[in-house]
Chain A
Amino acid sequence: MTSTWPLAAWAGWFVLAGLALAGYSLAAWRGRWPWWRVMVFAVGCALTLLCTWGLNNPLASMTGYTIALMTLGQIVSPLLLIGFPPQVRAQWRAPGQSWWSLWVLDAWVAAAVFIILTLGVNLPGVFNTALANAFFSGPIGLFLLLSGVMFWAQLLPGCTSIAHRWIAGIYGWLGSLPMMIIAAVWVWSGHVLYTPYLDVLCLWNLSPLDDQHYAGLVMFIAGLPLQLRAAWLLIMPGEEEPS
Chain B
Amino acid sequence: MKGVGIASPATPLQPQRGGWRDSARRAALVSTLLLAAVWAWSHFQQHSAALHGSPLKPVPAPSLSGFTDTQGRAFSWTRERGRAVLVFFGYTHCPDVCPLTLAALAQSLERLGPLRKQVRVVFVTLDPARDTAPVLRAYLDAFLPDTIGLRAAMPAVRVSARQWGITWRRVDTADGAYWIDHTAAVTLVGPDGRLVARYGYGQLTDPSWLADDLRTVLERG
Q: B30 contacts which of A1, A103, A161 (Cβ < 8 Å)?
A: A103
Interface size class on chain A is 35 or more
Measured in the bound complex, the distance between the Cα atoms of B20 and A163 in whole Å is: 12
Given A1-B57, A108-B27, A157-B8, are A199 and B14 also a contact pair (CB < 8 Å)? Answer: no
Interchain CB contact under 8 A, A163 and B34: no
Interchain CB contact under 8 A, A165 and B17: no
Q: Which residues of A contact B49 (CB under 8 A)?
A: 125, 128-129, 131-133
Interchain CB contact under 8 A, A109 and B26: yes
Q: Does A12 contact B (CB under 8 A)?
A: no
Q: How many residues of B contact A (CB 8 A)?
A: 51
Q: A157 contacts which of B7, B24, B30, B46 (Cβ < 8 Å)?
A: B7
Measured in the bound complex, the distance between the Cα atoms of B48 and A155 in whole Å is: 40
Give the dominant DSSP class at A's interface.
helix
Q: Does A168 contact B (CB under 8 A)?
A: yes
Question: For chains A and B in complex, what number of residue pairs have CB atoms within 8 angstroms?
Answer: 154
Q: Mark B9-38, 1 if CB is under 8 A from A, else 0.
A: 111111111101001101110110011001
Nearest neighbor of B185 in chain A, beta-carbon distance = A199
B residues touching A (Cβ–Cβ < 8 Å)? 1-18, 20, 23-24, 26-28, 30-31, 34-35, 38, 41-43, 45-46, 48-50, 52-57, 185, 198-200, 202-203, 205, 209
Measured in the bound complex, the distance between the Cα atoms of B43 and A70 in whole Å is: 25
Q: Which of A124, A156, A165, A198 has the most CB of B within 10 A?
A: A198
Instruction: Give 10 closest A-B pairs by Cβ, nearest first.
Output: A125-B42, A198-B202, A199-B200, A108-B27, A132-B49, A120-B38, A132-B55, A86-B11, A238-B3, A158-B11
